[in-house]
Structure 1
Amino acid sequence: MTHPNSRDRLPQRAAEAQLIHMARFVAPAVAAHVEQTEQQRTLAEPSAKALREAGLFTLGTPRRHGGHGAGVRTAVDVCAELAAGCASSSWLVGIAYGAALFASQLPDAVRTEIWASDPDALLCGAANPSGTVTAVPGGLELGGRWPWISGIDHAAWVLLGIVREDRGRPERGLALVPASELAVADTWHMAGMRGTGSRTATAEQLFVPDERFVSFAEIAEGIGVRRHPGEARVVFPLSINLPLVGTGVGIARGALELVVRDLAGGKRSISPLHTHTADAAPHQLNIAQAATLIDSARLHVRRAADEIDEAAREGRRPDLETRARLRMDGSHAMRCARDAVSLLLDTAGASSFSDDSALQRAWRDIGTASRHAALSVETSRELYGRVLLGRPLPHTDVV
């Protein structure tokens, strides 16, 4: 039976398939500059230009403002394609997607301010609350530091996580500010995901009008579809987090392709039992297990994305148990991707840890990305277990 809205979605589906094709086309271009991106600890300008010209920074920008308004499944697949070439490029596309979804919840006047003059504007942000917040007439005054803002070097607008007082109660949310009004401290010195440029933003007595603030509670309750009828609902926070899992899946898939190519190409074994590594049963099993782990990761994250997209189109928020399961899907997928890379390095051997090895970069990148707080397996397991067992959760809008 045909879904009543399926005919309306056909053009959008074709457009989203084209986005995945474009990501596949752009991946070699960003891969060509991956070393420059790492050395600079921010996205190399040729890579940023390629992503911008391909329209991949505007996956989440509403279509009525010149973007793609893509679903989460498309964002996941786009990020997976890009990550095989450059994990940092992929991560920033995922960050831009999530930030655009956040900004799309704001009033029309603010959305016009963001995108009317630059439909290709890249947005980024830090959801964790930081800094100081003072209520002033007409808005808020911010000060302090917001660390780990991926993509801030290339952003036009930044979303800052804050806590403001609402009728005497703390209210978590995001304040939108022009990137030009922030100072940026070069604090990003990490083992992996070096090219994301996740630096620290600082501000002093920065005024933010009330209309540029949106609370997490409002997003969870569906303020976006009330303000902008006809747009898909953002399922917070899952819509924002899952594309980052796509990055992990892409890293692992790229590592698998490298190791299989090396072994199938005749890599000689260091074992006295075999001439070629590909003939050794333990390594055959490692390859098979790694491939299965990557398939598991892909299946879990795609299932979660499909469920979120369906709920978003229908304008509903999944129930708590479903949200907890979907969060577990994303965290489990990222852990499967990390475990796959570890197995592949067991087979590839110690030479893979040289500084000029793409596998070493994959190991560092997946090790860093998979430990992002939003993708923590430990937290997701506890949340899901509590929900399944009927144990209480603290009041929160981020599950």
Structure 2
Amino acid sequence: MSERVMDRIADIADQLRLQAWEAETLGQLPETTVKQMKAAGSIRLLQPKKHGGLEVHPREFAETVMATAALDPAAGWVNGVVGVHPYQLAYADPRVAEEVWATDVDTWVASPYAPQGVAKPVDGGYVFNGRWQFSSGTDACDWIILGAMIGDADGKPLMPPQMLHMILPRADYEIVPDSWNVVGLRGTGSKDVIVKDAFVPAYRTMDAMKVMDGTAQREAGMTETLYLMPWSTMFPLGISSAVIGIAEGALAAHLDYQRERVNSSGVAIKDDPYVMYAIGEAAADINAARQELLANADRIYDMVDAGKEVSFEDRAAGRRTQVRAVHRAVSAVDEIFARSGGNAMRMDKPLQRYWRDVHTGQAHAIHVPGTVYHAAALSSFGVDPQGALRAMI
């Protein structure tokens, strides 16, 4: 069996653990971490082979993100977020991939997708303006995908809304320094970006609704199973995998911390049956979350590979699984953290950083359970959810 990216990540495990502290201090990934991830091929996992990518199974992508996040939560998060963009660029206009990877197959592409900008139609494309938050790993990226609303001649969003994904080179947007001051995932450098009157040619745009419902993939003539996977399975997969990987890292840090610890009553933690119970239960729940997420990716992949339609009900059930897996893993981390004692709260202890990071990852919009659970439940009754209930499904 050929060497996989996660094998290369395992080879630099000690460095990643140490660099996680540096990332926290810098507020972005250190250059060393970026170079190591590029050397390992972390962001090329879902990239087309014809552009130097690896085109791995979504399960392998998720496992690699988990392995990275367990060592360095910020690096794992960036792996999950930035790493999914090559999957989408595979079915963009072919000229886009040629531009992005023309001189370097390790060129990274940032986001976010929230439609916080307005694209005004002009001859040959759009004039684009806006400001976005949460551009994870953006300092290491040379391109970006940004969400937009199509505007009228005055630059006001059209109604009903029409959304686009705009693809821009680094020269066309500004990264806002010091715009990422947060309690967790500090090392992801998820800064604000600004676009001012940038011209974006039409071929560097994608219809957001067609991307989300799979029409874009079919219109692009994709035949590979990977690139026919639903966007609502693939985009959350990287983020949810990162959170579960962080939970696995938290469990490992907790075990290291508790191994020789004696509590305030002089009892070795290994002799405290209540703490042992909590560790056993948390380990089982974190593992269950991992297996749920991976099995869900396998299930959707197998359906696509067999040529079966992935219905809205299937996608909603998959999103329900992703959301629940994350909440289950984070709850497990809370149970062990609550039994770690006061010294675990010290800023030089890794456990408190994992705890902060896992909660920050859980707070991402894709992990909000309300509409996802609602839509999945309605679908199971044979009801076709409408409006906001279809968001990100």
TM-score by length of 2: 0.92
Counterpart residue number, 1:223 = 216
Counterpart residue number, 1:370 = 362
Contact 1:143 1:206 in 2 (8 A): yes
Between the aligned partners of 2:161 and 2:370, the Cα distance in structure 1 is 26
1:133 corresponds, among 119, 126, 143, to: 119
Contact 1:73 1:309 in 2 (8 A): no
1:339 corresponds, among 331, 340, 356, to: 331
Between the aligned partners of 2:167 and 2:371, the Cα distance in structure 1 is 28
Runs of 4+ in 1 over 4 A off after TM superposition: 165-169, 314-317
% of aligned pairs identical? 24
* Structure 1 residue 31 displacement after superposition: 1.6
Contact 1:97 1:240 in 2 (8 A): no
- Give the letter for the 1:386 counterpart: L
1:249 corresponds, among 244, 257, 265, to: 244
- Give the letter for the 1:47 counterpart: T
Between the aligned partners of 1:238 and 1:289, the Cα distance in structure 2 is 28
Counterpart residue number, 1:322 = 314
Which deviates more from structure 2 when the two are superposed, residues 27-36 or residues 150-159? 27-36
Counterpart residue number, 2:169 = 178
1:234 is aligned to 2:229: yes
Between the aligned partners of 2:143 and 2:303, the Cα distance in structure 1 is 28
1:398 is aligned to 2:389: no
Counterpart residue number, 1:388 = 380
1:292 is aligned to 2:284: yes
Contact 2:91 2:222 in 1 (8 A): no
Supply the RMSD in Å over aligned alpha carbons.
2.0
SS at match of 1:203: strand
SS at match of 1:348: coil
Between the aligned partners of 1:89 and 1:255, the Cα distance in structure 2 is 15
Between the aligned partners of 1:165 and 1:204, the Cα distance in structure 2 is 15
Which deviates more from structure 2 when the two are superposed, residues 151-160 or residues 179-188? 179-188
CA deviation vs aligned residue, 1:184-228 (integer Å, no higher than 9, x gap): 113111100001111111011111111111123222234235425
Which deviates more from structure 2 when the two are superposed, residues 109-118 or residues 191-200? 109-118
The aligned length equals 382
Contact 1:124 1:152 in 2 (8 A): yes
Between the aligned partners of 2:304 and 2:143, the Cα distance in structure 1 is 25
Counterpart residue number, 1:8 = none
Counterpart residue number, 2:352 = 360
Contact 1:58 1:96 in 2 (8 A): no
Counterpart residue number, 1:5 = none
Contact 2:70 2:246 in 1 (8 A): yes
CA deviation vs aligned residue, 1:133-174 (integer Å, no higher than 9, x gap): 211111111112011110110101100011226997532231
* Structure 1 residue 113 displacement after superposition: 1.2
Counterparts of 1:159-174 in structure 2, within 5 Å, are: 159-164=145-150, 169-174=160-165
1:277 is aligned to 2:269: yes
1:268 is aligned to 2:254: no
Which deviates more from structure 2 when the two are superposed, residues 378-387 or residues 340-349? 378-387
Counterpart residue number, 1:146 = 132
Between the aligned partners of 1:98 and 1:165, the Cα distance in structure 2 is 28
Unaligned runs of 5+ residues in structure 2 are 153-157
Unaligned runs of 5+ residues in structure 1 are 1-13
Counterpart residue number, 2:180 = 188
- Give the letter for the 1:113 counterpart: E
Decide whether aligned partners of structure 1 residues 118 and 320 sit closer, same or farther in structure 2, where only a CA change above 3 A counts: same
Counterpart residue number, 1:309 = 301
* Structure 1 residue 105 displacement after superposition: 1.8
Contact 2:293 2:322 in 1 (8 A): yes
CA deviation vs aligned residue, 1:294-339 (integer Å, no higher than 9, x gap): 1111111011111232244345551111111110111111111111
Counterpart residue number, 1:87 = 73
1:155 is aligned to 2:141: yes
Contact 2:293 2:325 in 1 (8 A): yes
Contact 2:232 2:315 in 1 (8 A): no
Between the aligned partners of 1:170 and 1:317, the Cα distance in structure 2 is 27
Between the aligned partners of 1:387 and 1:307, the Cα distance in structure 2 is 18
Contact 1:101 1:240 in 2 (8 A): no
Contact 1:72 1:308 in 2 (8 A): no
SS at match of 2:126: strand
TM-score by length of 1: 0.90
Contact 1:217 1:397 in 2 (8 A): no
SS at match of 1:173: strand
* Structure 1 residue 107 displacement after superposition: 1.5
Between the aligned partners of 2:32 and 2:270, the Cα distance in structure 1 is 38
Between the aligned partners of 1:26 and 1:225, the Cα distance in structure 2 is 39
* Structure 1 residue 28 displacement after superposition: 2.5
